[in-house]
Structure 1
């Protein structure tokens, strides 16, 4: 938002209100409310609000669930606490913080179009969000470089936990320093003095020089977007070429067609995964970077209204935060070890067994059934029957001897 442009408009409106005779604050508030609505600073309609709230809630729920699974999977299993997985957990923690802490405040600001959480929270939320965004992108870069080192130089000694922890400390320190201007130059600004009966505060950047915001946006785009793309793309391209070379060497050394096909499928799957990681990162963060550059560059010359600005920002912001939902899939679920832990956490086998037991037909208890069958007549009995000779009825003991017992299924 161009704060200077909005402030100039409100100052003009306040000067016009001074011509109102008497201290009719109710009339002033009425005129100000209408003016605020015309400037697009009023709340959205119900349908737009519900759509935005629903989309934000879906992103928050999916991102929180996926990143929580990644963290729990590493915490509960000592075998998962490797130096390589430390970077994945760090990525999950930063994305989880974005989902649980900063996204709700951003949603409230977009829906209400003002800021009612005070100056300190304005500074803290914006700085914390910037810090976690920097940590997330630098963690993605660190994961790419770690994979590059393992595959391209497999004979070198792998990174130990101490080294990975030191790298993580450096990542957080650099991210904090880069986000410091967001804490210093953000402030909760009163667009309308409270004396006029209507309060309108916004959380916005106030730089000491006019071009300060644009310079910071360009630097942020270079270090948070362009540089990670270059590093990740170069590392994964080199990995793909290395895997291709190994496949050719292996194919020339063996005659096993089935083994070559399996290796080819594995290589294709790996390449697709690496390409997907780079493409998802580019698509997720491109809109918000372009939007920020445009708004800071155009300033008061922007043709976008305030309401359109909030809508466009919300869409671009959700696309950027969608990376918090895709990262657990790309770095967790598509990893065999993490996928196994996810299955255990979700008790897949036990749940499937419970579903089968619930839906299966209950087994009937085996109940003895006594079936009386007609026994075959002996030769003497047949002759007596033909001669109409009376034969006494068999006793109970004799009948039992001719029983046939059957157990029901």
Structure 2
């Protein structure tokens, strides 16, 4: 219990700092004003709320081995924890679908992801999440309350029925299916593009050694330009795929333990695994910004601008080749 409480406290401190910095850096960057960034900021906002309220309250309840903060907070605590966790998951799904459309259907991307539609998508994420949690809030299907088995306030059965198992199945299975679908499609597109470039490289080399006419030279220039554009697009799509794979692996690592415990109702049999399950959920709220910093040059530039200032960042960027994720 003490280890869990100390971990929640540390996660809260690092999570608040990381998500606040991420929101400031990404919102201030003019180069990153796109749909993907909007979903990432929404993800960081949900994680920030989790770090500011749910983690400290979890730490206190684990330290004290009981709930000493009244019935109202015992309802608000799981409501915010479940809603913020759901919004975080749905934001990751939205990012995956966004990257899928960009790679697989690039001609439709600008039509689908306009500023208004992105705003409506983000609003829908929050509204649908809150509607789903109205069932235990209004005691229509389960109820919010204190569970002595896990030492915290959560969703309890009402008349022998509870939506908790359904929430965890939906929260793990649905993202997994969407992630696998999007990633496999992106991989197929990237693989086909790579094969096409390799097949076209041989005729290009042969053409350069045979014909030196003006017309052929012009054609070769256009061909080389198209080939370079294709290679650049392939590299960009490959980077997108890598980021999505890392996000998926982190999702599985952080959500699988608690999902197994809750789905199979093993809180009493494996209390340690239940605690580590909560640690995994909270850990997911602080590692998402790290993933984007490590794997995206553009996001690293945004953080650089925030800390070093616009002038210092521009001088360092000018020495690098521009690239996007």
**Partner of 2:108: helix, strand, or coil?**
coil
Deviation at 1:273, TM superposition (A): 2.9
Answering whether residue 145 of structure 2 is matched by residue 187 of structure 1, we say yes
User: For residues 10-409 of structure 1, what are the structure 2 equivalents within 5 Å?
Assistant: 49=2, 51-158=3-110, 159-184=113-138, 185-188=143-146, 203-210=153-160, 212-213=161-162, 216-254=163-201, 269-295=239-265, 302-303=268-269, 309=271, 311-347=272-308
Alpha-carbon distance in structure 1 between the residues aligned to 2:152 and 2:86 = 24
SS at match of 2:264: helix
Contact 1:118/1:188, CA 8 A, preserved across alignment:
no
Q: Say whether the 8 Å CA contact 1:189–1:204 is kept in structure 2.
A: yes
Q: Deviations over 1:60-116 (max 9, x none)?
A: 233222221221013323443323311111011001111111111111112222111
TM-score when scaled to structure 2?
Answer: 0.76
More helix as a share of residues: 2
1:134-168 superposed Cα distances (whole Å, 9 cap, x missing partner): 11111111111111111111112411110000011
Change (3 A) 1:151 1:59: same
1:110–1:314 Cα contact (<8 Å) kept? no
Give the whole-Å Cα distance in 1 for the aligned partners of 2:84 and 2:264.
23
Distance 1:205 1:148, change over 3 A: closer
Distance verdict in 2 for CA 1:289–1:188, change over 3 Å? closer
CA distance in 1, matches of 2:59, 2:9: 9
Pair 1:291–1:80, CA change in 2 (3 A): same
C-alpha separation in 1, matches of 2:108 and 2:54: 40
Separation in structure 2 between the aligned mates of residue 202 and residue 332 of structure 1, nearest angstrom: 33
> After TM superposition, which residue ranges in structure 1, 4 or more long, deviate above 6 angstroms?
256-267, 348-351
In structure 1, the residue matched to 2:213 is none
Cα offset, 1:291, TM superposition: 1.4
Asked if the contact 1:247–1:263 (Cα under 8 Å) also holds between the matched residues in 2, the reply is: no
Larger-Rg structure: 1
Q: Distance in 2 between matches of 1:189 and 1:283?
A: 25
C-alpha spacing 1:251/1:217, structure 2 compared with 1 (3 Å): same
Q: What SS does the corresponding residue of 1:80 show, helix, strand or coil?
A: coil
In 1, Cα distance between the equivalents of 2:128 and 2:195? Answer: 41
Unaligned runs of 5+ in 2: 206-223, 314-325
Gaps of 5+ in 1: 1-43, 192-200, 352-409
- Cα 1:223–1:106, aligned 2, differ >3 Å: closer, same or farther? same
Asked if the contact 1:127–1:180 (Cα under 8 Å) also holds between the matched residues in 2, the reply is no
Task: Confirm or deny: 8 A CA contact 1:190 1:202 kept in the other structure.
Answer: yes
Count residues with an aligned counterpart: 283
Q: Aligned partners of 1:289 and 1:347: how far apart in 2?
A: 41
1:119 is displaced (CA, Å) by 0.5
In 2, are the aligned partners of 1:130 and 1:182 still within 8 Å (CA)?
no
Q: Distance in 1 between matches of 2:280 and 2:200?
A: 47
Corresponding residue SS for 2:153: strand
Residue 183 (structure 1) shift? 3.1
* Secondary structure class of the residue paired with 1:81: coil
d(CA) in 1 for partners of 2:305 and 2:9?
A: 26
Q: Does the residue aligned with 1:322 lie in a helix, a strand or coil?
A: helix
Distance 1:136 1:333 in 2: 20
CA contact (8 A) 1:126 1:183 kept: no
Q: TM-score, normalised by structure 1?
A: 0.62
